[in-house]
Amino acid sequence: MLEIKNLHARIGDKEILKGVNLTVPDGEIHAIMGPNGAGKSTLSYVLSGRDGYEVTQGEVFYNSQDVLALAPEDRAAAGIFLAFQYPVELPGVGNANFLRTAVNAVRRKRGEAEMDAVAFLKVARAAIKNLSMKEDFLKRNVNVGFSGGEKKRNEMLQMALLQPGLAILDETDSGLDIDALKIVADGVNALRSARFAALVITHYQRLLDYIVPDVVHVLVGGRIIRSGSAALALELEAHGYTGLEAA
Amino acid sequence: MAIPGWKRHDMTALPLKKLEAWRYTDLTPLAEINFSEAGLGVAPAALPDLGLPRAVFINGRYSHASTLPMPEFSPVHETGDLPLAQINAESAQAGLTIDVPDGVDAGAILLVSHASGEAPFAVHLRHRIHLGRGASLTIIDIAKGDGLYWHNPVMDIRLEAGAKLAHYRLQDESRAAFGLATIRAHIEAGAAYEHFSAIIGARLSRTEIHATLMGEEAAAHLNAVQLLNREQHGDFTTVVAHRAPCCASRQTVKSVLSGLARGVFQGRIEVDRIAQKTDGYQMSQALLLSEHAEMDIKPELKIYADDVKCSHGATIGALDEDQVFYLRSRGIPEAQARALLIRAFLDDALSAVRHVQARALFEAAIDTWWVSQ
């Protein structure tokens, strides 16, 4: 279970998050929607531990662990996975090597045995097949020369291999690419279980046609101003955020 | 035991910074040291082996640890105008001499130069490599040592038509030492000199290569990685002379600098008037891991022919923190993430090393360097 309590964060002197409260129980998928500049991406980066964001107040717990005290790699080991909106390219780093290094780093921290190259390839090939990816994915450099859709698939492949308990999907403004949305949705839906939760961050309602959330939260001006069922997303799509901001 | 013919170095013969070729590398610290003759030295317990025939020089003398027969050494007649080669010529008493007959593939050999001793001393080896027409050879060349010394080897290479020499050099000199290596390659038609240097050791080093492409379709590949930390100074200087048409030269130089380290790359490509259809490429990239590290890059193209393809590029930057964060967000610890990205940065240069044992040697040296950070 993820619990965010009165979270305040800023970049430099600019306060972006102004008291976010949010609880995502295991087994549920929550969506965060909001207008540009509401703090959606900031929230995802603060949760995953990126440098440059200063938390000035509040707490975040995941399965009773103090998330904000953990280094990014330890958050990953604790089961938190951030799917990047724009994954970086890593020239010179082979995808297979990268994936195995990541999986083994996480396994080591979780007290599990590391996988040798043969065992890993078996697991990776099975995951690749599930995601309808080509096998040469493993031989290419991480994200180098990948199309937008391929990059998303690679994110979902990493997610499948790292088996997180909580996925944070930053899809802030990728609402226009239907294929990419479907890839992300398939990746999340494949992991749905009583022990998996997801926080889907998006600007457009369209993604939520493919990942049906249990709860929708509306983030405006650094605060969650409304929460509701999936129907709330449709209402936002029809009427926009303007009415809510005034409220 | 005195070395016959040994004499005190004339330090005034050292090149000074006012020479354009020595603008970025100051030999004053070297000139201030009073070098004596080398003692006998001891072979280290674990000499590099690799299971190859090897020639081992300990403190400038041919060692019993060698498996190759002791080469005959004939006096040096230095005709070039390089100051360090002239100093070497005055003192050199030994070196590897290899002559591969026409058409023979001589496989791979290991050349080890090791130096160790108490008082500062100098070692001047003179290696001569000759490959007959169509002959081929791979040399894995390792320079190591302990303590304060000056290693000033010169390697003269002559490749007859169609010969192929792969020369892989690991400069892992003592961190207190001066390592100044001069390599001159004369490359006839259709012959190829492939050089890769991993420059990791020495307090101050310079690897200076002069490759002269004398016949049509000759090729020179001069690649290097420099990994320097603390107050190390490393200089990789190349002069590629295209003296015939249709020759190719390739250079990829990658430098990783931390602490107060300073790296230098000077790359000159000369294209004579007759050297039409020259294909020259040069790329130098540096990764600065600290605010105080410094890289000086000087590409120099002198082109007198009109139908040539010559390109050069240079970049200097830091590790991309977005890439570091991406790896960490996948559970990879920060130090490992940085090591992975540095190794990736070096990949373009390293991937040119196709020889399996040489490649493994360099990979291990890079890993060791990173762990020592």
Q: What is the ipTM of this complex?
A: 0.95
Domain hosting A224: range is 2-246
Please write down the HEC assignment for all residues of chain A: CEEEEEEEEEECCEEEEEEEEEEECCCCEEEEECCCCCCHHHHHHHHHCCCCCEEEEEEEEECCEEHHHCCHHHHHHHCEEEECCCCCCEEEEEHHHHHHHHHHHHHHHCCCCCCCHHHHHHHHHHHHHHCCCCHHHHCCEECCCCCHHHHHHHHHHHHHHHCCCEEEEEECCCCCCHHHHHHHHHHHHHHCCCCCEEEEEECCCCHHHHCCCCEEEEEECCEEEEEECCHHHHHHHHHCCHHHHHC
Contact state of B333 with A82 under an 8 Å Cβ cutoff:
no
**Does residue B325 fall inside a structural domain?**
no
Encode pLDDT of B310-357 as tens digits: 999 999 999 999 999 999 999 999 999 999 999 999 998 999 999 999
Contact state of B333 with A90 under an 8 Å Cβ cutoff:
no
How does residue B43 score in pLDDT terms, banded at 50, 70 and 90? confident
Split into its structural domains, chain B has a count of: 1
Model pLDDT, residue A183? 85
Task: Quote the CA–CA distance of A75 and A65 in Å, as a whole number.
Answer: 9
Angle at A238 (CA atoms; ends A237, A239), nearest 5 degrees: 100
Share the mean pLDDT of chain B: 94
Q: Among A105-114, A177-186, B66-75, B358-367, whose mean pLDDT is lowest?
A: A177-186
Structure tokens at A171: 């899809």
Residue B37 vs residue B266, higher pLDDT: B266
Do residues B276 and B248 make contact, with C-beta atoms less than 8 angstroms apart? no
**Does residue B119 fall inside a structural domain?**
yes
Of A84, A90, A105, the CB nearest to B331: A105
Of A48, A75, A92, the CB nearest to B345: A92
Q: Which of B347, B342, B348, B297 has the alpha carbon at shortest distance from B318? A: B342
**pLDDT over threshold 80, residue B7:** no
CATH number for position A80: 3.40.50.300
Model pLDDT, residue B2? 40
Residue B69 vs residue B9, higher pLDDT: B69
Model pLDDT, residue B16? 76
| Percentage above 90 pLDDT, chain B | 84
Backbone angles phi, psi at A73, to 5 degrees: -65, -30
Closest-CA residue of A relative to B348 is A92
Of B322, B330, B340, the CB nearest to A162: B330
Longest Cα separation, chain B: 64
> For B171-189, what is the mean pLDDT?
97
Domain hosting B157: range is 11-319
Contact state of B344 with A87 under an 8 Å Cβ cutoff:
no
How does residue B371 score in pLDDT terms, banded at 50, 70 and 90? confident
**pLDDT over threshold 90, residue B280:** yes
Do residues B177 and B150 make contact, with C-beta atoms less than 8 angstroms apart? yes
The list of chain A residues with pLDDT below 70 reads 172-176, 243-247
Task: Quote the CA–CA distance of B288 and B348 in Å, as a whole number.
Answer: 17
Give the up-direction half-sphere exposure of residue B360: CA atoms within 13 A in the CB hemisphere.
5
Question: How many residue contacts between A and B have a Cβ separation below 8 Å?
Answer: 74
Structure tokens at B56: 């081992």
**pLDDT over threshold 60, residue B167:** yes
Split into its structural domains, chain A has a count of: 1
Chain A residues with CB under 8 Å of a chain B CB are 48-51, 71-73, 75-77, 81-82, 84, 87-88, 90-93, 98, 101-103, 105-106, 109, 158, 162
Model pLDDT, residue A20? 97
Of B322, B328, B348, the CB nearest to A72: B328
Which residues of chain B have a CB within 8 Å of the CB of A51?
321, 325
**What residues does B146 pair with on adjacent strands?**
B116
Contact state of B329 with A72 under an 8 Å Cβ cutoff:
yes
| Percentage above 70 pLDDT, chain B | 98
Contact of B325 with chain A, judged by CB distance below 8 Å, is answered with yes
